[in-house]
Amino acid sequence: MKDLVLAYDCSDSADKAFAFGLDLAVRYQATLHVLSVARPPEPPSMVETQEVLEESEARFRESFRGLDEQARVQGLVPLFEVRAGHPAEQIVRYAEEVEADVIILGHRGHSLSFVDRWLVGSISKRVLTYAHCTVIVVR
């Protein structure tokens, strides 16, 4: 196992997934790729979309600092990336790009609203369906 992709959205479940992924990466001496996906509003609207993307990226970059410190304590230097779009789509795509062996993501469960589920669907379910590699959903 050489490359792990960890999907991170700043939620509590994502923090759990990060802790799990970090542990796995340390054990296997693998490269940990932390990916966050900025979601434009649905439907994307003028000016607001750019604002949401910029704000999301700034928030993710801020979170990455803390994650980086945690990882460095354990002797690991993760790679961080922010993409924009549908979360499941971008996670699968990024995993293919870096030829990941495993995708790790947190289980959002009931924290998504009904409309959120309709718009985005279950992210973990879609990643499981379309990913080229092993997928671990951390509860």
The smaller minimum CB distance to another protein, of residues 23 and 48, is found at: 48
> Which token pair is 113?
């609203």
Q: Which is nearer to another protein, 59 or 93 (CB)?
A: 93
Strand partners, 134: 102
Q: Decide if residue 89 touches another protein (CB under 8 A).
A: yes
Q: How far is the CB of 24 from another protein (least distance, A)?
A: 26
Which one of residues 29, 41, 62, 111 is an interface residue with another protein (CB under 8 A)? 41
Give whole-number Cα distances, 74 to 58, 68, 138, in Å: 25, 10, 20
3-state SS, residue 72: helix
Six-digit token pair at 85? 């779009």
In the complex with another protein, the residue whose CB is nearer, 49 or 70, is 49
Packing angle of the helix pair 123-130, 87-97 (nearest 10 deg): 40
The conformation of residue 75, written as its DSSP 8-state character, comes to T
Span of 4-12, 15-23, 42-50, 100-108 interacting with another protein by CB under 8 A: 42-50
- Interface mask (CB under 8 A) for another protein, residues 113-132, using x and -? x-xx-xxxx----x---x--
Distance CA 32, CA 38 (A): 20
- The binding site for another protein (CB under 8 A) comprises 39-51, 53-54, 57, 82-86, 88-90, 92-93, 113, 115-116, 118-121, 126, 130
